[in-house]
Amino acid sequence: MRRPNAWEVSVKAYRKKSFPLDKIRRFLEPGPVVLISSAHGGERNLMTCGWHMMLGFEPALVGCFIWDQNHTFDLVRRSRQAVIHLPALDLLDTVIGIGNVHAPELEGDKCDHFGLTPARAKKVKAPLVAECYANFECKLADAKLVNRYSLFVFEVVYAHVAASPKYPTTVHYRGDGVFMISGRNVSRRSRFRPEML
Ligand SMILES: Cc1cc2nc3c(=O)[nH]c(=O)nc-3n(C[C@H](O)[C@H](O)[C@H](O)COP(=O)(O)O)c2cc1C
């Protein structure tokens, strides 16, 4: 049974089959890939993160999965701070490079190694990254799920966002080395109740 919708494409029911649970990330994962910078005890670091989600508007809360084998895990747990960065498509290969090496394997830190420009943040010690479209300074708001799920709940305490473009071309990880690039926007503002916008 096919029904037309506002896009004048037909809506259909899909035939489905059982799917391996360890591969469902392919469908649920693709928020924009971000970088997370951290600093503690004179050391600073960067990692790539695809598993994150908004958890509140005000305060602005963001949950990030940081694997306990990552060096970042210790730096964030000790400092209770981080900066979440939004890279655009031009940084894709850098994002992959940062996410494929652990800090102790390198001689210098990852900012230097990957030719990124660190800048001083306003409210936290972790550095901003000048080449990223946006930098969100965060303080750890809740560590209750860290031991069990490696989930850090951050509160964004300061946001630095580029003046243009309004919508950066972001990259979204689908697993298996495949990325989706953000595409065109469709506005449906008029169909929203104001309180839902
Ligand atoms: C596209 C991509 C997405 C990733 N997403 C995550 C993630 O959500 N959580 C995580 O802990 N590691 C993730 N990683 C792996 C870390 O970035 C990687 O282990 C990194 O080397 C950690 O650096 P560190 O040990 O210096 O902290 C991702 C890597 C890539 C390439």
Tens of pLDDT, residue by residue over 68-102, are 999 999 999 999 999 999 999 999 999 999 999 99
* Average pLDDT of the segment spanning 108-129: 96
Token pair of 30 as six digits: 């693709």
Contact 152, 51 (CB under 8 A): no
Q: Under 8 Å CB-to-CB from 135, ≥6 apart: which residues?
A: 83, 84, 85, 86, 121, 128, 129, 159, 160
pTM of the model: 0.93
pLDDT of residue 21: 83
- Is the CB–ligand 1 distance for residue 33 below 6 Å? yes
Query: Which residue has the CA at smallest separation from atom 20 of ligand 1?
Result: 99
Q: Is 47 in the pocket of ligand 1 (CB under 6 A)?
A: yes
Find out whether the peptide bond into 127 is cis, omega within 30 degrees of 0.
no
Q: What is the pLDDT of residue 134?
A: 94
DSSP 142-154: E-TTHHHH-EEEE
28 pLDDT more than 90: no
* Mean of all residue pLDDT scores within the chain: 92
Q: Is the pLDDT of residue 18 over 90?
A: no
Spatial CA neighbour of 27 closest among 173, 170, 151: 173
Q: Per-residue pLDDT tens for 38-68?
A: 999 999 999 999 999 999 989 999 999 999 9
Q: Residue 11: pLDDT band by 50, 70, 90 thresholds?
A: confident
114 lines ligand 1 (CB under 6 A): no
Q: Which protein residue's CA is at the shortest distance from atom 7 of ligand 1? A: 49
Residue 8: pLDDT above 90? no
CA–CA separation, 152 vs 144, rounded Å?
8
Does the beta carbon of 136 lie inside 6 Å of ligand 1?
Answer: no
**At residue 1, does pLDDT exceed 60?**
no
Ligand 1: nearest atom to the Cα of 38: 27
Task: Report, as an integer, the average pLDDT of 93-115.
Answer: 96
Q: Name the CA dihedral angle for 95, 31, 54, 142, rounded to a multiple of 10 degrees.
A: -50
Task: Decide if pLDDT at 20 tops 70.
Answer: yes
* CA atoms of 82 and 70, how far apart (whole Å): 14
The residue written with tokens 């979440």 in the block is 84
Asked if 63 contacts 55 with a C-beta cutoff of 8 angstroms, the reply is yes
Q: Is the pLDDT score of 7 beyond 70?
A: no
Q: How confident is the model at residue 13 (pLDDT cuts 50, 70, 90)?
A: confident
| pLDDT given for residue 171 in this prediction | 96
Report yes or no: 138 and 154 within 8 Å, Cβ to Cβ.
Answer: yes
CA atoms within 13 A on the CB side of 170: 17
Q: How many Cα atoms occupy the beta-carbon half-sphere of 15 within 13 Å?
A: 0
